[in-house]
Amino acid sequence: MPELFIVGKGAVGLLLAERLAQTYSVTLITRSPTQTVFAQHAECTRPLEVKCLSWQELAKQGIRIDLCIVPVKSYQLSAAFAALRPHLSPGANVIFSHNGIQALEPVTAELSVQQGLFFLSTSMGGWKPDANTVAFTGPGLSVFGPCNTAAQQRASSLFDTLISPHLVPAQLSDDIARLRWQKLCVNLAINPLSALSGLKNGRLRAPCYASKVLGVLSEACTVANHVGVPLKLHEELHRAYQVMTLTADNFSSMAQDVKHQRRTEIDAMCGYIVELANQYGLSVPHNMNLLASVRALHPVENTAGIG
């Protein structure tokens, strides 16, 4: 059975672990020793058939990693990759999965020409009733794509063996920049409004939110087009409302972060749009307003470790 490592035990990581453990020997890399993690479906809770290994144990055992998924918060990405990099095998495949947009150039510069970097966008629904349990709340589209030359050569094979059989529905994309922007647009339409309102994703389809969704996505598409990513507003609106429908009974990750007084990813979402807009002299008042409003919920945000 092939080995797969997943960094952390966040909701997405545990959802992926449950599905991939059908075919792979899955090991979760966690911040502190963890004995067992669980998945909850309806009223049934069962332990996941995965191993858990702390970063300290990983280093002590000298384990080399061939395949790893890194589904962490955007602000944790740099630290997670720095901790992971010494353990990667010469031909390792690394898959990032996070909300918002973080620059990938610092990561690709640290990888060898034989190491592949991929991005996975997924809207699977889940939340954590406690630190070691994930509750599945609904399916969602997963899109997978390569981020460097080595990954481009392996993308089709890895999609067919790792992604497509376990994450349904799933798509393979060869345009990683557009894929990341499309995920960002979904994040922009759902996360800040759900965080501010405390509503489930499906409730954001109400007419009273339509002008805000339109405004934030119109600005995002304008900025994307300005930097050479050809997004179309009507397509991004359709995608966002489709995800609202697929995940209608879910609370977004940002809504859950606000509820539990955790640091949000607003700076990698609306903050990213505002930063680019400032560079190019563009006006993005809807994103600026949402950025300020979410920041105001927790003026002093907590830092978080990996896993």
- pLDDT (tens digit, 9 = 90+) per residue, 148-203? 999 999 999 999 999 999 998 899 999 989 999 999 999 999 999 999 999 999 99
* Helix, strand, coil percent content, the chain, rounded in steps of 5: 50, 20, 30
Give the confidence band of 102 by pLDDT, cuts at 50, 70, 90. Answer: confident
Amino acid of residue 268: A
Q: How confident is the model at residue 218 (pLDDT cuts 50, 70, 90)?
A: very high
Which one is the CATH code of 3-174: 3.40.50.720, 3.40.50.11740, 3.40.50.300, 3.40.50.620? 3.40.50.720
% of the chain exceeding 70 in pLDDT = 97
> Are the C-beta atoms of residues 263 and 253 closer than 8 Å to each other?
no
Contact 124, 18 (CB under 8 A): no
| Contact criterion met (CB below 8 Å) for 305 and 31 | yes
What residue ranges in the chain does DSSP mark as E strands?
Answer: 3-7, 25-30, 38-41, 44-47, 51-54, 65-70, 88-96, 116-122, 125-130, 133-138, 142-146, 170-172
CATH 1.10.1040.10 residue spans of the chain: 178-297
Mean pLDDT of 260-274: 95
User: Sorting pLDDT into bands at 50, 70 and 90, what band is 305?
Assistant: low
Class of domain 178-297: mainly alpha
User: What residues does CATH 3.40.50.720 cover in the chain?
Assistant: 3-174
Tell which residue, 252, 148, 129, 263, has the closest CA to residue 200.
252
pLDDT tens digit sequence for 36-49: 999 998 778 999 99
3-state secondary structure at position 144 = strand
The per-residue pLDDT for 304 is 46
290 and 216 in contact (C-beta within 8 Å)? yes
Contact 306, 71 (CB under 8 A): no
Whether residue 137 has pLDDT greater than 90: no
